[in-house]
Structures are given as structure tokens and as C-alpha cells.
Amino acid sequence: MFALEAKNINKTFMDGKNASPFHALKDINLEIHFGEFFVLMGPSGSGKSTLLRIFAGIEPAYTGERVLGAGLSQKDISFVFQQFALLPWLTVGENIELGLLERETSEEKRRERVWQELKIFGLEKFANHHPHELSGGMKQRVGIARALATDPKIIFMDEPFSELDSFTGDALRQELLDVWAERKVTIVMVSHNIHESVEMADRIAVLTKPPARVERIIQNHLPRPRNMRSEEVFRLDDELYQLIKP
């Protein structure tokens, strides 16, 4: 049972008038299973973010096929952005409500739903604040709460922790893992950070340099919660490092 299937996805950028076309993604074939934590890694500029956007349905220009799993539609998809992408004129509460506006007609239910997410992420006091009043960690909490508010089946995440300091990142990773275990949602995340990927992923797909293909898919069966100082973890770290190093 797959939540998302990619068949022969190719992406070419036609930037500029005279520049030659840039072949970013080449024949990407992937299956992502329901409920799994899937991580995309690869060298800088290997098109991970582009592939993630194609998967999420917000990058329409590509060839090949993107198939959502049985019973899934675009409504079941959410996205967490590297730079949070909170709308600055909306309050924290209104940002979390954003995805519910077209999905849930009852204002009361929307408010209830927003309040639940605010509580889960410890944001109750900030409900009426605007994004520019928050720290980076708080902003990404709002970003994740917004993504979860619509009860998505698949959440796509584009390096969600890379803008945060390491302590904030650690805390937020743990919160995300708890939420993931509890809600049985499928997560597809792009990451630059090997250790983070080993901590979180069930499977890690490593892309090559452009034109990017899937070089390898690494299974990570280590039991959770993972001991991040164990020998197996370091072995996986090394294996990934050898694959990705420039």
C-alpha cells in the first residue's frame, strides 16, 4: 500500500533565453508507504526540494507521473517550509487556521481545531501575536501546527529544522516524532543533516548530483526511541556520509 508513487519523473529548468536547459531530475521512481517517515537526501543542488514540491502538487511543470495512494486527494496534503512561510499579516491563530478556511465551513469547529493545535505546541499565549514577534523555533512550531491542523495524510517537509539552532531543533524534532507516532501520518522530509535523517527516518533515499537519480534507498530499522550514540547509528551515519560526500 503506497501513499505516493513517482513514475519516471523528469524535470528540466528552462531558465533564461540563451542558457541551455538544465536537467534537474532524471527518471525518478519511488514508492512511499502509508505511515512511514521518508527522508530525501543528496548533494546541494540535487533537486530534492524540487522533487518534494512535485510530490506535494505545488510544482506543476514536470514529466512523468505522480500517483496519490488509494482514497487520497490534494486535500490530504500539507507542507512545512524551510523558512516557515507564515503570512505576516495573520496572527498565529489565523495562520494555523489557514488550511481550514476552505476545508471546514463551521467557524466554531475551526476555532476548536486551531485551539487544539495551539495547546499541543504550547502556543496558547501567542495565539494573537504576529509572526514577527516570535523566535525562529516558535515560528516553525506554528508552521508544523498549521500543517497538522487539516488532519493531513501526508506532510511534506522542506528542511524544517535547518533554520533553527541545534537545541531548538532537537526539541522540535522530538515533538514531531511524538506527533508522527500518535497520528500515524506519512511524512516525506528533505534534509541536509545526516544525523537528523538517521534519527527520524524509516527509509532514506539518496539522490545523485544532477541530473539527479535515486542512487540508493537505505532502510533504517533501528528501534525507536533511537539511541543516537549507539554503534549502529554511527555506522549508518558513515554509510550516508560516503554516499553523499562531494
Partner 1 sequence: MRHHAHRVPVGIYTSSRHLAVTAAVVALPFFLLALFSAYANIELWRLSYDVGISVLRLAIAYFLSSCVGWVLAVLFYRGKKAEWALPFFDVLQSFPTFAALPFAVLVFGNASLVVIFFLFMIIVWPIFFTITSSLRLIKRDWHEAVAIADLRGLTYIKKFLLPASAPGFITGSIIGLGNGWEGLVATEIIARAPRGLGEFFQSFSSNPTVTAFGILGLLALIFLINKIIWLPLLEWSHTRTDD
Task: Please calculate the CA angle 79-171-217 and round it to the nearest 5 degrees.
Answer: 55
Q: How far is the CB of 236 from partner 1 (least distance, A)?
A: 32
17, 18, 102, 105: residue in contact with partner 1 (rule CB under 8 A): 102
Does 88 help bind partner 1 (rule: CB under 8 A)?
A: yes
Does 126 help bind partner 1 (rule: CB under 8 A)?
A: no
State the cell numbers at 26. Answer: 532524471
- Binding segment for partner 1 (CB under 8 A), chosen from 9-17, 32-40, 89-97, 225-233, is 89-97
- In degrees and rounded to multiples of 5, residue 190 shows phi and psi of -90, 135
Binding mask 20-59 for partner 1 (x = CB under 8 A): ---------------------------------x--x-x-
- Binding segment for partner 1 (CB under 8 A), chosen from 97-105, 116-124, 178-186, 221-229, is 97-105
Does 85 help bind partner 1 (rule: CB under 8 A)?
A: yes
> 67 forms bridges with which residues in the sheet?
5
Residues of span 132-161 touching partner 1 by CB under 8 A: 132-133, 139
SS3 state at 73: coil
Rounded distance between C-alpha atoms, residue 78 and residue 140, angstroms: 14
Does 222 help bind partner 1 (rule: CB under 8 A)?
A: no
Rounded distance between C-alpha atoms, residue 152 and residue 77, angstroms: 5
The full 3-state SS of 184-234, as one line of letters, equals: CCEEEEECCCHHHHHHHCCEEEEECCCCECEEEEEECCCCCCCCCCCHHHH
Whether the Cβ atoms of residue 37 and residue 189 lie closer than 8 Å to each other:
yes
- Binding segment for partner 1 (CB under 8 A), chosen from 90-98, 174-182, 207-215, 235-243, is 90-98
Residues at the site binding partner 1, with contacts judged by CB under 8 A: 53, 56, 58, 74-75, 77-79, 81, 83-90, 94, 98-99, 101-103, 128-133, 139
